[in-house]
């Protein structure tokens, strides 16, 4: 079988504390879905994931504002996001969340410990914002003030929304509590940092190797970070809702790391050696901690085990959590691990169409089957009513469902696949789709996190239940898209300015209309703008008059003049045009320039309308079979290419002609052997696309431009 890529595709995890708007769809969610569907059509082994980013100060701030618990905010809006994305027909293989997810917590903590073992985690005593009235340290989003770079008055403590600069709260001018407006002070506390400085050369080398693969915007933004010099970045926070710092495990690892450096000759030598060893690990020993060590040693000497159990340098981190960006990015690993835990289970396997399936061989251990001209060979065993299968194919979420029929005499009711998520993170290509404001986090910070966990010594394998000693691949491509605005202004929920997705669900238009237009104006390398008059024009001109018109004319013509069937040879000039379009389409789709790929499809459709009109086959249908059959093949090509963009409509078209197994392999076979194929219309064609008139536009403006759901 032809070798295929193992591909993991991710959409940036949307913050959970609000209703998604159309800018979120354009910025990462729809592009990633288009790419996932495209790769499935190519026959690649694809896993596509997303989920909500639940933790961090944004959620805690929202909870305080609404007088709710963070969990209430998270659970409510997670379900809102899930329903919106289901309506938009986003084909996630896994949609999860970072909270309510013990496996996520464990994997985040294990990778954090790996980075610490490798010497990439250091400790600093720093002055951080503190609210005397609240009697607590404040995380970055609880702090607002004036940006020192652009002068924006409401810059957050982590990033200025106006100029995009990453900030430290101490850089803000006149910082205040974002909830109460209280003036804040700065007090000393300890935090743990990822030492990006030590990783800078590796990250620069990685980015240099991505020129020509990453978008120009992603390369430019990322290398500008490198040019400024990477600094140590805090990855712990004074919050209550998040992944807890694994302070007990950190201390256990530390004991293992420093034990050989300890002197047991006397109390004094032990204390000196302990403090020096801790400092060598990049940890801070201030006066209070020094006093605490002396006290514990004095009371328990010479019971060294008792001393090291009673004393834990990281005890003060038990009420801290890991930085939300550290936590959320690792969701790209934990979410697939949550789904593919070494097995993938199909319960209550439903009937599938198996007209093209044949059994070639079954020796009791290996089964060889043929499906749609492809041969698959899988190892299997049966235990009671459970069928266990081994093998990894591009169709692995669909192929195995139909195998129930081959074993129905053995009463198989459950199929278990031997698939492990590590296949994707060790041997796969990782594609991240995200908005341009998140480029540095994905192209610099995320590779740094991954690099910091590589090549952990075998001496520490006992600490890793889920991540073992794996070295995970760095992202193959980071596709950072620009912004989508609404009628020339930034989308804003507070000002009811934009299109809000919870309201779209209740609109009269099929999601394919929205998917089509958003794809058409997709902000690949520059910001784009949603305009109602352009939406109406593009839908009516391109989707209805161009594609819809060609579809209905050709199918109706075959029904009227050829009794629903058409055979014969096809025109080489049409096939050549199709193949040329496909080559351009592949080029743009592989690069993520989906708006340009879509325009190539529209050009092909316009060509089809043109040659149909110019040749006037209705004047002599008998002499125009070649043209009409060529145009049916052209339509099959168009809807195959359109499938990643408008899957509902594409599937409806293929139902008209009973065309199954949509893939580029099948399309190429069709194009190669089309002279020998009879095409039959088996279902009366219906109009796929209706015009959007002024009344509908006015109605939509009233209903979809404000959120309909609130907590």
SS3 660: coil
Q: Is it the case that residue 113 has pLDDT exceeding 90?
A: yes
In 555-696, which ranges are E strands?
A: 565-566, 679-680
Domain count, the chain: 3
Same domain (yes/no): 274, 379: no
The burial of 523, by beta-carbon neighbours within 10 Å (0-12 exposed, 13-18 middle, 19 or more buried), is given as: buried
Is residue 24 one of the residues assigned to a domain? no
Q: Report which secondary-structure segment, H or E, holds 237.
A: strand 236-237
Per DSSP bridges, beta strands 484-486 and 528-530 are parallel
Is residue 369 one of the residues assigned to a domain? yes
pLDDT tens readout for residues 633-690:
999 999 999 999 999 999 999 999 988 778 899 999 999 998 888 999 999 999 999 9
Is residue 85 one of the residues assigned to a domain? no
Same domain (yes/no): 550, 676: yes
Q: Taking the CA atoms of 459, 460, 464 and 469 in sequence, report the sign of the dihedral they define.
A: negative
Give 417's strand partners: 344, 389
Q: Which of 419, 448, 472 is the last residue of a domain?
A: 419
pLDDT tens readout for residues 596-613:
999 999 999 999 999 999
Q: Is it the case that residue 423 has pLDDT exceeding 90?
A: no
pLDDT for 391 equals 62
Same domain (yes/no): 402, 300: no
Same domain (yes/no): 290, 357: no
pLDDT for 707 equals 82
Q: Is it the case that residue 327 has pLDDT exceeding 90?
A: yes
The structure tokens listed for 501 are 């997705």
Range of the domain at 362: 343-419
pLDDT tens readout for residues 545-566:
999 999 999 999 999 999 999 9
Average pLDDT over residues 9-16: 96
Same domain (yes/no): 680, 641: yes
CA distances from residue 519 to 28, 535, 596 in whole angstroms, order as listed: 11, 11, 9
CB of 513 within 8 A of CB of 544? no
Same domain (yes/no): 347, 301: no
- pLDDT over 70, % of the chain: 92
pLDDT for 551 equals 98
pLDDT for 357 equals 67
Q: Is it the case that residue 139 has pLDDT exceeding 70?
A: yes
pLDDT for 385 equals 72
pLDDT for 496 equals 84
pLDDT tens readout for residues 395-410:
554 555 556 556 666 6
Q: Which of 419, 438, 469 is the last residue of a domain?
A: 419
Q: What is the CA radius of gyration of the chain?
A: 29
Same domain (yes/no): 260, 347: no
pLDDT for 85 equals 97
Same domain (yes/no): 541, 671: yes
Cα 308 to Cα 473: distance, rounded to the nearest angstrom: 37
pLDDT for 80 equals 95
Q: Is it the case that residue 632 has pLDDT exceeding 60?
A: yes
pLDDT band, residue 1 (cuts 50/70/90): very low
pLDDT band, residue 8 (cuts 50/70/90): very high
Give 477's strand partners: 431
pLDDT band, residue 432 (cuts 50/70/90): very high
Is residue 36 one of the residues assigned to a domain? no
Please state the φ and ψ torsions of residue 420, each to the nearest 5 degrees.
-120, 140
Among 23-32, 36-45, 364-373, which stretch is predicted with the lowest mean pLDDT?
364-373
Q: What's the mean per-residue pLDDT of the chain? A: 91
Average pLDDT over residues 373-392: 73
Same domain (yes/no): 595, 535: yes
Same domain (yes/no): 541, 681: yes
Is residue 445 one of the residues assigned to a domain? no
**Per-residue DSSP letters for 84-129?**
HHHHTT---SEEEESSS-HHHHHHHHHHHHHHHHTT-EEEEEEEEE
**Pick from 28, 21, 32, 24: nearest CA to 481:** 28
Is residue 310 one of the residues assigned to a domain? yes
Same domain (yes/no): 252, 399: no
Cα 174 to Cα 690: distance, rounded to the nearest angstrom: 56
> Whose structure tokens read 């430019």?
220
Same domain (yes/no): 538, 687: yes
Is residue 508 one of the residues assigned to a domain? no
Q: Which of 401, 419, 437 is the last residue of a domain?
A: 419
Is residue 195 one of the residues assigned to a domain? no
pLDDT tens readout for residues 200-248:
999 999 999 999 999 888 999 999 999 999 999 999 999 999 999 999 9
pLDDT for 579 equals 98
SS3 576: helix
pLDDT band, residue 348 (cuts 50/70/90): very low
Cα 333 to Cα 449: distance, rounded to the nearest angstrom: 12
pLDDT tens readout for residues 176-191:
999 999 999 999 999 9
CATH of residue 588: 1.10.730.10
Q: Is it the case that residue 350 has pLDDT exceeding 50?
A: no
């Amino acid at each position: 079988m032809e070798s295929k890529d193992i591909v993991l595709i991710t959409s940036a995890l949307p913050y959970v504390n609000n209703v998604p708007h159309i800018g979120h769809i354009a910025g990462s969610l729809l592009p990633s879905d288009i790419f996932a569907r495209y790769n499935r059509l190519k026959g690649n082994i694809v896993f596509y994931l997303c989920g909500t980013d639940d933790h961090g100060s944004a959620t805690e701030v929202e909870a305080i504002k609404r007088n709710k618990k963070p969990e209430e905010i998270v659970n409510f809006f997670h379900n809102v996001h899930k329903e919106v994305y289901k309506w938009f027909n986003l084909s996630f293989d896994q949609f999860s969340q970072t909270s309510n997810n013990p496996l996520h917590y464990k994997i985040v903590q294990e990778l954090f410990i790996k980075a610490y073992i490798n010497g990439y985690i250091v400790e600093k005593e720093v002055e951080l914002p503190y609210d005397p009235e609240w009697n607590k340290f404040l995380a970055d989003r609880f702090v607002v003030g004036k940006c020192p770079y652009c002068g924006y008055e409401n810059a957050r403590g982590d990033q200025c929304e106006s100029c995009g600069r990453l900030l430290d709260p101490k850089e803000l001018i006149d910082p205040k509590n974002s909830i109460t407006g209280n003036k804040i002070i700065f007090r000393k506390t300890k935090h743990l940092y990822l030492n990006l400085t030590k990783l800078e050369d590796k990250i620069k080398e990685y980015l240099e190797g991505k020129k020509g693969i990453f978008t120009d915007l992603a390369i430019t933004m990322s290398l500008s970070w490198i040019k400024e010099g990477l600094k140590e970045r805090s990855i712990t926070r004074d919050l209550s809702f998040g992944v807890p710092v694994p302070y007990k495990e950190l201390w256990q690892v530390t004991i293992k790391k420093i034990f050989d450096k300890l002197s047991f000759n006397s109390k004094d030598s032990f204390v000196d050696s302990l403090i020096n060893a801790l400092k060598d690990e990049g940890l801070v020993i201030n006066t209070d901690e020094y006093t605490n060590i002396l006290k514990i040693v004095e009371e328990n000497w010479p019971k060294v085990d008792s001393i090291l159990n009673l004393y834990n340098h990281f005890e003060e981190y038990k009420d801290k959590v890991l930085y939300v960006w550290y936590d959320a990015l690792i969701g790209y690993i934990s979410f697939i691990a949550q789904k593919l835990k070494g097995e993938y289970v199909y319960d209550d396997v439903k009937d599938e169409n198996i007209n093209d399936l044949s059994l070639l061989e079954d020796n009791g251990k290996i089964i060889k089957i043929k499906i749609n001209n492809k041969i698959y060979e899988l190892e299997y065993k049966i235990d009671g009513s459970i069928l266990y299968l081994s093998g990894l194919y591009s169709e692995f979420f669909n192929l195995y469902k139909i195998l129930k029929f081959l074993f129905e005499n053995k009463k198989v009711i459950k199929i278990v696949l031997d698939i492990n998520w590590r296949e994707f993170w060790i041997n796969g290509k990782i594609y991240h789709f995200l908005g341009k404001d998140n480029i540095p986090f994905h192209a610099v910070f995320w590779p740094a996190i991954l690099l910091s966990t590589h090549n952990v010594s075998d001496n520490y394998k006992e600490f890793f239940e889920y991540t073992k000693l794996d070295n995970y691949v760095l992202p193959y491509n980071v596709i950072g898209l620009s912004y989508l605005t609404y009628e020339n202004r930034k989308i804003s929920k507070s000002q009811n300015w934009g299109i809000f997705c919870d309201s779209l669900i209740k609109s009269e238009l099929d999601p394919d209309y929205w998917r089509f237009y958003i794809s058409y104006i997709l902000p690949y390398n520059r910001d784009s703008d949603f305009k109602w008059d352009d939406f109406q024009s593009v839908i009516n001109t391109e989707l209805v008059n161009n594609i819809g018109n060609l579809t209905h004319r050709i199918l109706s013509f075959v029904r009227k003049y050829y009794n629903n069937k058409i055979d014969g040879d096809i025109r080489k000039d049409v096939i050549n045009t199709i193949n040329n379009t496909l080559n351009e389409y592949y080029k743009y789709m592989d690069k993520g320039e989906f708006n340009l790929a879509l325009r190539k499809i529209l050009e092909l459709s316009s060509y089809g309308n043109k040659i149909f009109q110019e040749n006037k086959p209705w004047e002599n249908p008998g002499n125009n079979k070649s043209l009409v059959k060529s145009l049916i093949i052209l339509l099959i090509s168009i809807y195959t290419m359109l499938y990643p963009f408008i899957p509902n409509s594409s599937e409806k078209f293929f139902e008209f002609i009973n065309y199954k197994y949509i893939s580029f392999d099948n399309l190429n076979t069709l194009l190669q052997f089309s002279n020998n194929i009879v095409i039959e219309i088996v279902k009366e064609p219906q109009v796929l696309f209706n015009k959007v008139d002024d009344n509908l536009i006015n109605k939509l403006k009233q209903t979809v431009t404000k959120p309909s759901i609130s907590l």
